[in-house]
Amino acid sequence: MKKIILIFFGFSVFSYAQDLKKETEKKQFPAEVQSQNLKEILEIKKFQKELNEEYKNEKESPLRGDNFKKFKEHPFFAINLDYCVKAKLVKTENATPFELPTSSGKTKKYQEFGKVYFKINGKEQVLTVFQSLSLLENPEYKDYLFLPFKDATSGTETYGGGRYMDLRIPKNDEIIIDFNKAYHPYCAYNAFDYNCPIVPEENWLKIPIEAGVKYDDIWFEH
């Protein structure tokens, strides 16, 4: 009889533990959250693959000569969805076009579209997004937004001149900024053939953005 009671008690404890584990998993990782996370991760991996393919394509790559031949792939920070944030977009009214300095000493015409407000690790951040006046003439890029930024990794783990992001004008005042898709300007790899917009000081973040492309000698095979 004791054996039966012990077996039954052991089975009950095991069943309860399994049920508790399932319930905990549900609370921590709901199916819709898991699905959304998977979707975001796949989009980031697609971005990384396309960026590598672009640099391996002789017609598209900014790399020249031996740099092009030796290129294998970009180093990236580990994918971190904490750097995929929802931001509030506040549009700038009556924006005035201006000349944005570039790395070559020339300028390019842009206009401020608005400010994006968001949090990274609980800290409030704000960046300015811009529109290229030349791209506005192309219907395909009418909703294109340009987000250049520098952060605490600039000059160490990433290019000292900062990184860029491509965004699209949202239908409302909420916009997703996924820093896992941050990339370097072509000038980071070829300063002779390209003139790239310099990141305005207002877009220098004091915090590290440990997401997106990195910058070191790993992308060349020695």
Which pLDDT score is estimated for 33? 60
Kindly tell me the sign of the dihedral angle through the C-alpha atoms of 107, 113, 118, 123. Answer: positive
Calculate ∠ Cα 135-163-104, nearest 5°.
65
Instruction: State which amino acid sits at residue 188.
Output: A
Residue 49 has pLDDT above 80, yes or no: yes
As a dihedral over the C-alpha atoms of residue 72, residue 167, residue 136, residue 205, rounded to 10 degrees, the angle is: -90
Residue 30's pLDDT band (cuts 50, 70, 90): low
Measured CA to CA, the distance from residue 101 to residue 97 in angstroms comes to: 13
pTM score of the predicted model: 0.82
Q: Read off the pLDDT of residues 92-142 as tens digits, 9 standing for 90 and up.
A: 999 999 999 999 999 999 999 999 999 999 999 999 999 999 999 999 999
Q: Read off the pLDDT of residues 158-187 as tens digits, 9 standing for 90 and up.
A: 999 999 999 999 999 999 999 999 999 999
Residue 219 has pLDDT above 90, yes or no: no
Beta bridge partners of 126: 117
Residue 221 has pLDDT above 50, yes or no: no
Domain boundaries along the sequence of the chain: 74-219
Q: Name the more confident of 219 and 154.
A: 154
Give me the mean pLDDT over the 55-73 stretch: 94
Q: Tell me what percent of the residues of the chain surpass a pLDDT of 70.
A: 82
DSSP assignment string, 114-175:
EEEEEEETTEEEEEEEEEEHHHHTSGGGTTEEEEEEB-TTBTTTB-TT-EEEEEE--SSSEE
Give me the mean pLDDT over the 200-216 stretch: 96
Measured CA to CA, the distance from residue 91 to residue 119 in angstroms comes to: 18
Token pair of 128 as six digits: 């300015």
Q: Tell me what percent of the residues of the chain surpass a pLDDT of 90.
A: 79
Residue 35's pLDDT band (cuts 50, 70, 90): confident
The average confidence (pLDDT) of the chain is: 86
DSSP class of residue 214 equals: -
Total residue count of the chain as it appears in this document: 222
Which pLDDT score is estimated for 6? 39
